[in-house]
Amino acid sequence: MMKRIAPLQEMDRAPDFVLKTKTAEGLKDIRLWDNLRKKQTILLFFPMAFTSGCTKELCAASEDYSQYAKLDADVYGISADNPFAQEAWAKASNITITLLSDMGSKVIEDYGVLAPSRFGFPGVAMRSVFVINKIGTIVYRWVGKELSDLPDFEPVKQALGRPQFL
For residue 166, the model assigns a pLDDT of: 47
Domain, as residue range, for 84: 18-137
For residue 4, the model assigns a pLDDT of: 58
CA distance 28 to 21: 5
Q: Is residue 153 part of a domain?
A: no
CA distance 63 to 81: 22
Task: Give the total number of structural domains in the chain.
Answer: 1
Q: Which residues contact 62 (CB under 8 A, 6 or more apart)?
A: 94, 95, 96, 97
pTM: 0.91
Q: Is residue 148 part of a domain?
A: no
Q: Is residue 142 part of a domain?
A: no
Give yes or no for residue 147 having a pLDDT over 60.
yes
Long-range contacts of 17-26 (CB under 8 A, 24+ apart): 17/102, 17/106, 17/107, 17/110, 19/78, 19/100, 19/101, 19/102, 19/107, 20/83, 20/100, 20/101, 21/83, 21/86, 21/98, 21/99, 21/100, 21/101, 22/83, 22/84, 22/86, 22/87, 22/99, 22/101
For residue 64, the model assigns a pLDDT of: 86
Q: Is residue 32 part of a domain?
A: yes
CA distance 36 to 99: 18
Paired residues of 27 in beta bridges: 22
Q: Is residue 52 part of a domain?
A: yes
Q: Is residue 6 part of a domain?
A: no
Give the model's confidence band at 1: pLDDT under 50 very low, under 70 low, under 90 confident, else very high: very low
For residue 128, the model assigns a pLDDT of: 95
Of 8, 48, 54, 97, the catalytic one is 54
Mean pLDDT estimate for the chain: 90
Q: Is residue 128 part of a domain?
A: yes
How far apart, in Å, do the first and last CA atoms of the chain sit?
24
Catalytic status, residue 54: yes
Residues 62-91 pLDDT 10s: 988 888 999 999 999 999 999 999 999 999
We report the CATH number of the domain holding residue 127 as: 3.40.30.10
Of the listed ranges 60-74, 89-103, 113-127, the least confidently predicted one is 113-127
Share of the chain above pLDDT 90, in %: 71
Q: Is residue 108 part of a domain?
A: yes
74 vs 121, higher pLDDT: 74
